Homo-oligomer: A and B are copies of this chain.
């Protein structure tokens, strides 16, 4: 299996990537939702370009460093849903705004003040969306009235433009998020600040994005391009749709029921996302990846009728595809059983 590829390696199936991208774009088109994919999952310029080519309105980056890489690669419309703070980052943000159509979020007057001090040109204002905590418990203003207050602060700054609302809803709580956003939209509209964009996201709930289409105008899925064990558990797709797999080698069979592979937490990460085990071994559905150290994965084969031998290669669907992407300088692009090429992960490790 992929004999020329040294393990551990990340394989990306281009046929499945295209299928996953097209499926989401078709859904967004059918429901008149703008699609703005999150590139954190793949971090590859070629896939970002393809997402836009087939209909995405632009891309989403979580870090300034990722956005800079994507701008270098020719992406022209970038949303950075993050509170950008501090002189160094604000200067980088300003430089970035000079070369792409840029939008950001803020959830506090402190963030808005920094943006307002940096962006002062009323002729080319920076688009700022208010981040809303609709139940996730992460960033975001806590109530619709707070969204209105912050929108007013943004609108009052000459170099800023209030562009709308943004949320990342808690998984399975898209309805509550929609109600929250609808209330905020009503308040804002009443105050003369109707939100042009209401942006939501999350692959787990993407096939229900249209349920909120009365208020949500834009959707930001990330993991949908690859899918993973968690998304399969959430019913977003099937195991056969998972475009990213980890290729690993059995390096030891110390007991009848134990296999050790050369993929540990430095490959699969410790992310469990609440599930048991650290990934699914294709072809050995009864195998359980019970533990990881950095360079070893421990597999319990007790329930397996057939068991892999030392030297056998296994393909593993990881729990969480995005974090695996960030661990590899290069990924191997394949179609079915054929290697197409090896690609540099352009925005890997852009931490700031």
A positions within 8 Å CB-CB of B: 6-9, 40, 62-63, 82-83, 85-86, 88-89, 107-108, 110-111, 133, 137-142, 249, 251-255, 258, 260, 262, 265-267, 269-272, 291, 293-296, 298, 309-311, 322-323, 326-329, 349, 351-352
Partner of A254, one of B141, B326, B328: B141
Closest residue on chain B to residue A63 by CB atoms = B295
Bound-complex Cα distance A327 to B212 (A): 37
On chain B, the residues within 8 Å of A142 by CB distance are: 254-255
Contact A107 B137 (CB under 8 A): no
Residue of A141, A252, A322, A349 with most partner-chain B CB within 10 A = A252
29 contacts across the A-B interface (CB closer than 8 A): A6-B352, A8-B352, A9-B351, A62-B295, A82-B251, A82-B262, A82-B295, A83-B310, A85-B311, A108-B253, A110-B310, A111-B252, A137-B291, A138-B298, A139-B296, A140-B252, A140-B254, A142-B254, A142-B255, A265-B269, A265-B271, A265-B323, A270-B270, A270-B271, A326-B327, A327-B327, A327-B351, A328-B351, A349-B349
> Complex formed: what's the CA distance from A88 to B6 in Å?
7
A236 to B258, CA, bound (A): 31
Counting from the closest, the 3 A-B pairs by CB-CB distance are A270-B270, A83-B251, A139-B252
Shortest C-beta distance, A29 to chain B (Å), equals 28
Q: Give the chain B neighbours of A63 by CB distance below 8 A.
A: 295
